[in-house]
Structure 1
Amino acid sequence: MDSPTPVLEETYADLLSEITPQEGERREILDPATGEVVGHAPVHTVDDLERAVAAAKAAQPAWAALGHERRSELMMQAADAIDAKAEALARLLSREQGKPLNGPNARFEVGGASGWMRAAAATPLGIEVVFDDGQTHAELHYRPIGVVGAIGPWNWPQMITVWQIAPALRMGNTVVIKPSEYTPLSVLALVAVINEVLPAGVVNIVSGGREVGAALSSHPDVGKVMFTGSTTTGKAIIRSSADTVKRLTLELGGNDAGIVLPDVDPRAIAEGVFWGAFINTGQTCAALKRLYVHDDVYDDVCEALVEVARSVPMGIGVDEQNVLGPLQNKQQFDIVDRLVESARVSGARVLVGGDPDRDQPGYFYPTTLVADVDNDNPLVAEEQFGPALPIIRYHHVEEAIEMANGLEVGLGASVWSSDRDRAREIAARIQSGTVWINSHGGVHPMVPFGGAKQSGYGLEFGVEGLKSLGVPQVVNG
């Protein structure tokens, strides 16, 4: 009997072949772990974007007319289609983005994509009676916006694309997707699978450069833009969307803080803290990026984290034993490298890591823990977005809260304590969109998620996420 491996590779090859452009300009996409060519992506232009927006605009009335029930049925079928090709999608994602197949990585992400599609399809959103005194009857409805632009990142390209498009589809909108230039293949493949089910023109994708993203965010026929990425790019989108007064949902940079209280058991929290910081090799907006630890438990927490860090294998993503991978691109590697060196030069202690092998292929930066670092050090003040965690000592909880709130961002945060009530008291004083207790970074399709301060605005997920993809209309009478 034949091994299943050739079948899997054939499915992967078929999927890659389906999205490979046969004509027009194209560019190589390289594996960040090996430098090998993964495939070729089309280089779309602003003219291609115009055609995509026109197709979405033309398809939208019929898609909206299907009604919530039929749209939800088709979305459920799209989720089934994702599951049917999950392994091929995961392998492509692993090779293009770099994340391993196992752990909270490529297979996990593909499962999240189909799971969030189902959640958006199944979440009820009825008509809300907001006032009725026997004479006046007022109802709140949510109507489709029209065409929604979705501009995604390179760190979780497939799952975040679904986070953006699933609620849009559920609410009767059509979408135009602009994936990151670093990870277009993963999103092109996802869209190809989804479009096996959905009507033509409902989901469209344009794989181009920054000029395409700028044109999408300013296009007069696009009623809303959803963006996940850097605060700098988010500000540019705000400016370019202003003339057409677009609705926006922006999930921007995080640099999330965690506060460890002196009553913790360091070994009990070490694994949770580690994965809060190092999920996707630290390349997550809501990852834990600054850890404030009370002096009473500081050394023990550092020791426990080092033990976990040394036990977690890093390597090429398609090797089944690995659960940490490379940084996705050289620019991000250089950022992490610079920030760790700034801490080392300042006199901070590198407990583990911090010495990349520059002779090996790929953008591998070792799992790095940095202790005794000042709060104003660039490794703390700037978002590293990689596998390097600064650990800052504090003596009084007021000091920790002040430091946690001291930056202009506020996506997520966490409090670690054996006293949940005390942790909740502190959580209420932290300026961030989400505060986790004794965990960090976990999201759920029914729990609203969004940022505070310069980490963006607008909520995703659940009922609130659906509402953000509709135009509220009050019917009064």
Structure 2
Amino acid sequence: MKQFKVDKVLHYINGKFVEGVSGRQFQNINPFTNQSINEVAEGFKEDIDLAVAAARQAFDNGPWRTMSVGERMKYIIKIADLIEENAEEISYLESLDTGLPISQTKKQAARAAENFRFYAEMVKSRLVGEAYQVDQSFINYTIHKPVGVAGLITPWNAPFMLETWKVAPALATGNTCVLKPAEWSPLTANKLAQIIHEAGLPEGVFNVVHGFGETAGAALVAHPDVQLISFTGETKTGSEIMKNGADTLKRCSMELGGKSPAIVFADADLESALDAVVWGIFSFNGERCTANSRIFLQESIYDQFVDALKERVSRIVVGDPMDEATEVGPLIHRKHWENVKNYIEIARAEGAEIISGQIPESCRNGNYVAPTLLLNCTNDMRVAQEEIFGPVMVVIPFKTEEEALRMANDVKYGLAAYIWTSDMKRGHRLAHAVESGMVWVNSPNVRDLRIPFGGSKHSGIGREGGHYSFEFYTETQVIHVAVGNPHIPKFGKTRKAEAVTVSRL
């Protein structure tokens, strides 16, 4: 495989790649070797202040907000073209940085380019207002205006695609933005900055500050000149962001954690269900917010399905993420690896039976967790209630539809759910009753850019995707126009003027 040079990562502020104000750097670690890949400029409040000032200036006084939609969309399409031209490098950097298998990161560049193309079309076709006529007196109509400076805080799982998922609608609708990527995956955020720089966007429209959530991220959230915060990540962090942004009345869009159930009934297409649930938890190294991490199996098929799961898990290819044959690579960081391993020990202490695949000797230096099944589980166990975010599947039996629904909903999260049954009345019934933002019936997690994406309960607030993103990234303004001779109350004119006596000294 072709390798690409990795230089030191700098901030991108006001159209320039710059060192941090403090001059400090941090090491970016390869999850396969646990050796340093490169150095990254570490951002603090001072760097965020510079980036926000640049974005504010570009929004208030630059051409981006006021240029024609057609002209702005030329830039958006140019970004998509450049992503496609750089797809091979993007997939390499993503695998190097995150440990995701190269066979999976190759698809991320195409999806990222699609994000920009999609919003170029959506802005032209769906960013429209409405008109309301009031007899012959008024016409009231709405327009959509960009809000201002968007603060975008992105995660380390599939970082490039998820960065573009936020950047594309933010820019296409005329906002400027400051991106704070996850500190564990800075390489493709830097590549995105290079691509946007090459596309020639006006200075300050797009900015990137690298650093840690407690410093750079917190400063972005608290900044009074940032109107929007879009965050994807862990629930606890999302809650803190909302608290810290409350004083400046920021709009917040939160896509948070998940503990998504897959319910498999005895009448389901079991082979398709097996394919889907294995892919749903073990692809992306299990680091997927919508992963079906809890599997509920109807008792009559439990043994049969578990045997098939064991056999399938034993054949999953664990290896070097740069190997095209690899299906599961290393977890993003040693700290996360320790967290996932700790959950497996918690499962052991709770009485679960642990079935794991094998890790090759060549992978011993990496952050590997073998694909793991947790059997003999009940829904009240910690491993069934808390997000593990790794290649770990909790398997639970059920007897009736009512029991399956009760257990599916008996969790604080509500991001996604999957239902497998040939009884479509039951499929619809359960889909309506399950507490989640998204439900797939007889299907894995298929992506449709037109749908709203987001969760309920502790899995998030708000929706992005399709025209739903416009509710977050634009301000709806109502304009009232008198077209006739409306009745205007003669306030203060009905009483006769009274003489006013002025006393003089």
Q: TM-score, normalised by structure 1?
A: 0.93
Matched residues in 1 for 2:312 and 2:139: separation? 60
Identity %: 34
1:272 matched residue in structure 2? 276
User: Can you list the C-alpha shifts for 1:252-305, whole angstroms capped at 9, x where unaligned?
Assistant: 111111111121132232111111122201101111111111101111221222
Which residue of 187, 190, 195 corresponds with 1:188?
A: 190
Tell me if 1:155 matches 2:157.
Answer: yes
Matched residues in 2 for 1:38 and 1:257: separation? 37
1:216 matched residue in structure 2? 220
Matched residues in 2 for 1:408 and 1:339: separation? 18
Tell me if 1:202 matches 2:205.
Answer: yes
Matched residues in 1 for 2:320 and 2:461: separation? 36
Matched residues in 1 for 2:178 and 2:132: separation? 37
1:57 matched residue in structure 2? 56
2:119 matched residue in structure 1? 120
Tell me if 1:363 matches 2:367.
Answer: yes
Matched residues in 2 for 1:51 and 1:235: separation? 26
Matched residues in 1 for 2:9 and 2:393: separation? 40
Matched residues in 1 for 2:186 and 2:204: separation? 19
User: How far off its partner does 1:308 sit?
Assistant: 2.5
Matched residues in 2 for 1:360 and 1:258: separation? 32
Matched residues in 1 for 2:52 and 2:477: separation? 25
Deviates more, 1:236-245 or 1:356-365: 356-365
1:290 matched residue in structure 2? 294
Task: Report the AA paired with residue 32 of structure 1.
Answer: P
Secondary structure at the aligned position of 1:142 is classed as strand
Deviates more, 1:452-461 or 1:334-343: 334-343
User: How far off its partner does 1:212 sit?
Assistant: 1.1
Matched residues in 2 for 1:414 and 1:46: separation? 42
Task: Report the AA paired with residue 40 of structure 1.
Answer: E
Tell me if 1:93 matches 2:94.
Answer: yes
Task: Report the AA paired with residue 350 of structure 1.
Answer: I
Which residue of 405, 417, 422 corresponds with 1:418?
A: 422
Matched residues in 1 for 2:220 and 2:276: separation? 39
User: How far off its partner does 1:42 sit?
Assistant: 0.8
1:39 matched residue in structure 2? 38
Deviates more, 1:349-358 or 1:201-210: 349-358
Which consecutive unaligned segments of at least 5 residues does structure 1 have? none
Compared CA separation, residues 424 and 130, structure 1 to 2 (3 A): farther
User: Can you list the C-alpha shifts for 1:293-326, whole angstroms capped at 9, x where unaligned?
Assistant: 1101111221222232222212111112112111
Tell me if 1:78 matches 2:79.
Answer: yes
Compared CA separation, residues 241 and 205, structure 1 to 2 (3 A): same
Contact 1:150–1:177 at 8 Å: present in 2 too? yes
Compared CA separation, residues 431 and 274, structure 1 to 2 (3 A): same
1:177 matched residue in structure 2? 179
Contact 1:228–1:252 at 8 Å: present in 2 too? yes
Tell me if 1:389 matches 2:393.
Answer: yes
Compared CA separation, residues 119 and 404, structure 1 to 2 (3 A): same
Contact 1:41–1:185 at 8 Å: present in 2 too? no
User: Can you list the C-alpha shifts for 1:141-188, whole angstroms capped at 9, x where unaligned?
Assistant: 211111000001011211111111111111100000001111112211
Matched residues in 1 for 2:279 and 2:347: separation? 22
Compared CA separation, residues 393 and 202, structure 1 to 2 (3 A): same
Contact 1:131–1:138 at 8 Å: present in 2 too? yes
User: Can you list the C-alpha shifts for 1:188-229, whole angstroms capped at 9, x where unaligned?
Assistant: 122221221122211100001221111101111001000000
Compared CA separation, residues 354 and 93, structure 1 to 2 (3 A): same
Task: Report the AA paired with residue 445 of structure 1.
Answer: L
Matched residues in 1 for 2:358 and 2:385: separation? 18
Question: Cα RMSD over matched residues?
Answer: 2.0
Task: Report the AA paired with residue 400 of structure 2.
Answer: H
For these two proteins, the number of residue pairs brought into alignment is: 466
Q: Which of these two proteins has the greater Rg computed from alpha carbons?
A: 2
User: How far off its partner does 1:132 sit?
Assistant: 2.2
Matched residues in 2 for 1:358 and 1:333: separation? 17
Q: TM-score, normalised by structure 2?
A: 0.88
2:411 matched residue in structure 1? 407
1:102-121 correspondence runs (5 A): 102=103, 105-121=104-120
Contact 1:266–1:300 at 8 Å: present in 2 too? no
Matched residues in 1 for 2:69 and 2:458: separation? 34
1:138 matched residue in structure 2? 140
User: How far off its partner does 1:418 sit?
Assistant: 1.8
Which residue of 312, 321, 338 corresponds with 1:308?
A: 312
Contact 2:9–2:186 at 8 Å: present in 1 too? no
Task: Report the AA paired with residue 58 of structure 2.
Answer: A
Matched residues in 2 for 1:355 and 1:93: separation? 22
Which consecutive unaligned segments of at least 5 residues does structure 2 have? 12-16, 482-505
1:330 matched residue in structure 2? 334
Tell me if 1:435 matches 2:439.
Answer: yes
User: How far off its partner does 1:128 sit?
Assistant: 2.7
Contact 1:285–1:385 at 8 Å: present in 2 too? yes
User: Can you list the C-alpha shifts for 1:24-66, whole angstroms capped at 9, x where unaligned?
Assistant: 3222211101123222211122111111001111112420111
Matched residues in 1 for 2:262 and 2:142: separation? 39
